[in-house]
Amino acid sequence: MLFLYKPEFQFRQAKVEKKVCLPAEAFEKFLRDPLQDVPCVVENKDLMCQDKEGVYHCLLVTGEGRRDGVLVEAEGYDYARYASYVPDAAALEYDSLSEFGAGLSWLADRMIQAGTDGTRDGNWTFYLDQIQEECDFSLSENPALTELLADMLVERPEVHLAYVRSDCLELRFHPEFCPNCQKETEDCQSQAGVALQAGDPGEQREQKDEGQTMEACLKDLLCARWENLHLVHDEIDYGLPHTIVELDGTTLTAAGKEAWADVLNAKVVRVFRGYSGLQMELSGVKASRLDAFSAMLAGYCSVEDYDNWVNDPEEGQAVPVMQEG
């Protein structure tokens, strides 16, 4: 990009009368010294002028293998008397392409605004037939166009991932850009604090912006029931964690508490709103054991082990509920 000190911007309407593509070396030389006499400017200076309406009729000079270019209005001279650098020359060469790009950019802005304002867990789904109502081009009939829109969206700082489905576009936002996710995180912090106080009023806790950081073990927080909880390791990311539908002090049998004592004694680093929803980050335990514990509670173990380690729901006692949203 070209940055110059300017007391004000004086905009002019411009029309490309002809495009000239120079060899890469010649274009670099032109950029370094635009006031030199340039053969292509000399040959085409009759095409360049300012008309009665104030429109600059220009020569578009580009280089081989380059996306950028320079608009030149020589005003009858042999050099670029008036010039404007453009990062994307193709958008000026084709009006239809420029309008199309502007339309996609506008649509991306609308989708990000709607998604970040509406989501409570960082995820938002846009159905292609609904998007169609907001624009003049069909996404459902043009998969390549949907892929292009997804690529544009993931280039934005608000978007972490974009999934293209047959009938929809699913976005996963960074929680810090989502006001409702911030509120949910604050609720998680408050809930974790209440649970910890109920388990051990003398336990010390430290507040941090990214979540509730504390010196407590997982078993200390099971005095409350946690719903739709995801246990994650503080050092290793195994991808999408298992969802624990319910977890409290009555979930495990005595044999279960003994078998999974290392997980129950793991230190709670923080409780926060993450990509998967309500998450509890733990340390002091092997990541493989943490993943196996979550998988076991999700039913990914033998029937014999599950019956041995997990109580039937009706056998549990009533406890405060800590849940998502």
Q: What is the pLDDT of residue 317?
A: 44
Give alpha helix (H) positions in the chain: 24-32, 39-44, 89-93, 95-118, 128-132, 143-154, 179-199, 254-259, 261-264, 287-297, 303-309
If you ran DSSP here, which 8-state letter would residue 320 be given?
Answer: -
Q: Residue 76: left if φ>0, alpha if ψ -120 to 50, beta else—which one?
A: left
Rounded CA separation 310/246 (Å) = 11
> What sign has the CA pseudo-torsion 158, 164, 167, 172?
negative
Q: What is the pLDDT of residue 257?
A: 93
Rounded CA separation 134/166 (Å) = 19
> Closest Cα to residue 260, out of 292, 307, 228?
292
Rounded CA separation 124/126 (Å) = 7
pLDDT along the chain (325 residues), means of 10: 74 89 92 89 92 92 91 92 87 76 88 90 84 75 85 91 86 85 57 51 40 70 84 81 88 93 92 80 92 92 92 54 39
Q: What is the pLDDT of residue 156?
A: 92
Q: What is the pLDDT of residue 12?
A: 85
